[in-house]
Every structure is written in C-alpha cells, then in structure tokens.
C-alpha cells in the first residue's frame, strides 16, 4: 500500500501531459521527478534559470554549477537551456510555464494560497513563489489534507498572508483531488476506501461532491 505522499505524487504525475513545461516547487513537488517517465518529453523549469532539468544519474559526479531552485544538484535533458534570473521570471510572468506544483500551509475554496509566511514564526522570504502562483496558468497544490495537529488546511478562507489570491487550479491531498471552480471546491477524486462524510469532516472548506462522477485514486 502506498504512503500518503506516494499516493499524492502518483496522482499528481497524471496532471502532466507530454510536451509541457512544468515547474516543481521545493519539498514534496520536487519528488515528482521520480514519477515522470524518462522518455517523456517534458521540460522541467527551475526558477534559478534552467529549463529541462532532470535527476542526476545515481553515482554520477555532480556538476557544481548545476542546481535546481531547491539547491539539489541536477543534470539536463536534450533540449535544455540555461539563462539569467530576469529571463527565468519573464518566462513565468509571460505564462510560458504550463503547470506548477507547490506545497501549502493553507489553501481555500476561492483558490487563495498561503505558503510562505507564518507571522512571528517563519518568514525567510517569498523567493519565487509569488510570481509562479500569480502567473502560471495551472497551479496544483500538493499537501497533506490536515496539519500535524489534525487541523484542516483546506479552508473556507486563508488566514495567513497570501502567496497570491485566486491562483490555485487544483488541490491534491492524500484524501482527495479538488478543483477550484467558479462555484466552489469541486471534489474530482476521493482516496480509495475513504467515504464522503469522512472527507467533509477533515475539511473546513465547503466541498461540492457529485457522488456519481467521483473518481478514486
């Protein structure tokens, strides 16, 4: 049986189509690398200035000048390019990245996202998250459904400072896949073995659920 994170990642990989340009946020989203078939023509963008990252082959000597935005050594695949930080963010602001995956502290049913600051506790700076959140057409949040104390992270309204307003397309947790729509948070898939009431109990946001069209993952 897959772990919660494996379940999230395996489902998230299905959001990527061949030929797309993809950005993987720091943390859990970076592990999506392992779920992309090596022969799949996808270019992974990293905001420090590279398009076409791939995992370093095990045992190979790293190039000290090649890292991703999380600081891990990487290599590149055919068709890759490297560039300065202004061009890298021009690519983001011009919506040339097709899909980005990010973690979240909180996300709400309007598609607001908070993932960079907990006032008084954690404020290392926003890095590239704000521009990615605001400008990439499809933002998929990957996070645990609840925090380590069991509190809901999928809220009616974010309480923490926002990374960007109304920016989230989809949320994938170990419990559900939810689409942000005009009318609210629509559950697309629910985890194998979980029932709808248990999902609602674990969630603060209002969920729109059409049981006839609900997928399992």
Q: Where on the chain is the footprint of another protein (CB under 8 A)?
A: 17-21, 41, 43, 45-52, 56, 62-69, 71-73, 76-98, 124-131, 134-135, 161-165
**∠89-92-96 over CA atoms, to 5°?**
135
**∠68-73-79 over CA atoms, to 5°?**
65
Q: For another protein, which is the closer residue by CB, 13 or 126?
A: 126
From first CA to last CA, the distance across the chain in angstroms is 12
Q: For another protein, which is the closer residue by CB, 98 or 174?
A: 98
CB of 36 to another protein, least distance (A): 14
Whether 174 sits among the annotated catalytic residues: the reply is no
CB of 161 to another protein, least distance (A): 5
CB of 98 to another protein, least distance (A): 6
- Token look-up 């605001």 returns 134
Q: For another protein, which is the closer residue by CB, 97 or 207?
A: 97
Which of these, 25, 69, 77, lies nearest to 49 by C-alpha position?
69
CB of 209 to another protein, least distance (A): 29
Pseudo-torsion of CA 115, 127, 9, 92, nearest 10°? Answer: 110
Which of these, 166, 202, 205, lies nearest to 182 by C-alpha position?
166
Q: For another protein, which is the closer residue by CB, 141 or 177?
A: 141
Secondary structure (3-state) at 93: helix
Q: Which of 15, 47, 131, 174 does the annotation list as catalytic? A: 47
Which of the residues are catalytic?
A: 47
């Amino acid at each position: 049986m897959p772990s919660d994170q494996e379940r999230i990642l395996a489902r998230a990989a299905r959001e990527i189509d061949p030929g797309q340009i993809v950005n993987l946020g720091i943390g859990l989203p970076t592990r999506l690398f392992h779920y992309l078939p090596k022969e799949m023509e996808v270019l992974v963008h990293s905001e420090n200035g590279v398009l076409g990252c791939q995992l370093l082959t095990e045992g190979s000597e790293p190039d000290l000048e090649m890292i991703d935005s999380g600081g891990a050594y990487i290599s590149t695949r055919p068709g890759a390019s490297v560039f300065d930080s202004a061009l890298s963010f021009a690519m983001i602001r011009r919506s040339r990245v097709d899909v980005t995956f990010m973690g979240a502290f909180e996300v709400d049913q309007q598609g607001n996202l908070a993932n960079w600051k907990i006032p008084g506790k954690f404020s290392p700076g926003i890095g590239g998250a704000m521009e990615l959140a605001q400008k990439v057409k499809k933002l998929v949040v990957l996070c645990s459904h609840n925090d380590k104390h069991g509190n809901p992270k999928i809220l009616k309204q974010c309480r923490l400072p926002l990374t960007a307003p109304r920016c989230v397309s989809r949320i994938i947790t170990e419990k559900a896949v939810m689409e942000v729509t005009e009318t609210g948070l629509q559950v697309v898939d629910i985890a194998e073995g979980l029932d709808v009431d248990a999902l609602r109990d674990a969630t603060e946001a209002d969920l729109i659920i059409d049981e006839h069209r609900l997928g399992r993952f």
